[in-house]
Amino acid sequence: MKSPVQLQHNGREAAGFVESGATLLRFLREVLGDLTPKAGCHQGTCGTCTVLVDGVPRLSCITLAEDCGGSIVETVAGLSRDGTLDPLQQSILDGFAAQCGFCTPGMIMAAKALLREKPQPNRDDIIEALSGNICRCTGYEPIIAAVLAASGRTQTNTAEAG
């Protein structure tokens, strides 16, 4: 049986039907055509499918689409405006913080939630915010540096109170 799901997706109203028990990841990719949340483990352990639901990072591979009705769902696809990358996206690009790129959408969304909550995070804040996201390429240092750069901080001033 299919259920209707209506939500706000990257600033626009969106609606569609999903099989009962379908994940938000499946709804975003298959119904709305947003391929930026990546399908990784499908078990909620890798973080590559992280999106923001009402501003909170959620693993879309284990979040039911039906539970997101009426919510605001943000993905990497909604961050850039008029062809201009979000400062966090630009920082990731400038800092060569994406190698294979598979984890990048989830990392960006987890970092975006952190920066909204705490615009001047320190290194430990970033490590904690990204702890649910696995990257096998970068060793995390370029990603941490990129988030610091996006916040206007650098590796050298992170020892300050954050």
Two structure tokens written together for 113: 């939630």
The pLDDT assigned to 154 comes to: 58
79/39 Cα distance (integer angstroms): 19
Q: Domains of the chain: which residue ranges? A: 2-78, 87-157
Per-residue pLDDT of the chain (162 residues; tens, 9 = 90+): 899 999 999 999 999 999 999 999 999 999 999 999 999 999 999 999 999 999 999 999 999 999 999 999 999 999 999 999 999 999 999 999 998 999 999 999 999 999 999 999 999 999 999 999 999 888 899 999 999 999 987 554 444 444
Rounded Cα gap, residues 37 and 29, in angstroms: 8
CA 46 to chain centre: 12
Handedness of CA 51, 57, 61, 63 (dihedral sign): negative
Tell me the CATH class for 87-157.
mainly alpha
pLDDT of 138 reads 81
Amino acid at 100: C
The tokens for 41 are 């483990």
d(CA 136, CA 20): 34
- pLDDT score at 91: 97
Tell me the CATH class for 2-78: alpha beta
